[in-house]
Amino acid sequence: MFFLAIGPTMAQRPEGGYDREKLEAARVAFITTRLDLKPEQAQKFWPIYNVFNDSREKSLKEMSALGRTRDLDLSEAEAKSRISKKFEIQRQMIVDEEKFVKDLSDVITYNQIIRLDGINREFARHIWQRRREDDKN
């Protein structure tokens, strides 16, 4: 089922990239299948997952922006402030992840929660490999 969903996603590259909607649909199918989510679990799982994932992506972008070294003439105070902000974001990410796990534990098992991280990495690795193959062709 996953390969049927991912095939069309990889084939179409609007504006030099991948169709985000199709990629998202493939990710949903991949995770749902690998976690063996029942329909009633999936209905509760995806809203929790999406809120957490959006928040996580936003935090990672903020941290990335703080680490950019374009400003070579930072004052010590600004450098210290950026480092403090980075730690603040990291602490909040831990709080968010703890809440995410707590909320998910009402929907899926802790074993499924542990497997989720590996499944996410597996999906990303699969997409990366497919993209490399497509770039060679």
Same-domain check for residues 1 and 24: yes
42 lies in a domain?
A: no
pLDDT grade for 13, boundaries at 50, 70 and 90: very low
136 lies in a domain?
A: yes
125 lies in a domain?
A: yes
**Region 102-128: what's the mean pLDDT?**
93
75 lies in a domain?
A: yes
pTM of the full structure: 0.76
Same-domain check for residues 67 and 22: no
- C-alpha to C-alpha distance for 2 and 34, rounded to whole angstroms: 10
Q: Is the pLDDT of residue 5 over 80?
A: no
SS (H, E, C) the chain: CHHHHHHHHHHCCHHHCCCHHHHHHHHHHHHHHHHCCCHHHHHHHHHHHHHHHHHHHHHHHHHHHHHCCCCCCCCHHHHHHHHHHHHHHHHHHHHHHHHHHHHHCCCCCHHHHHHHHHHHHHHHHHHHHHHHHHHHC
pLDDT grade for 129, boundaries at 50, 70 and 90: confident
Q: Is the pLDDT of residue 128 over 60?
A: yes
Same-domain check for residues 57 and 85: yes
* Boundaries of domain holding 90: 51-107
pLDDT tens-digit map of 64-84:
988 876 766 788 998 899 999
Same-domain check for residues 65 and 21: no
32 lies in a domain?
A: yes
126 lies in a domain?
A: yes
Number of domains in the chain: 2
Place of tokens 């998202």: 24
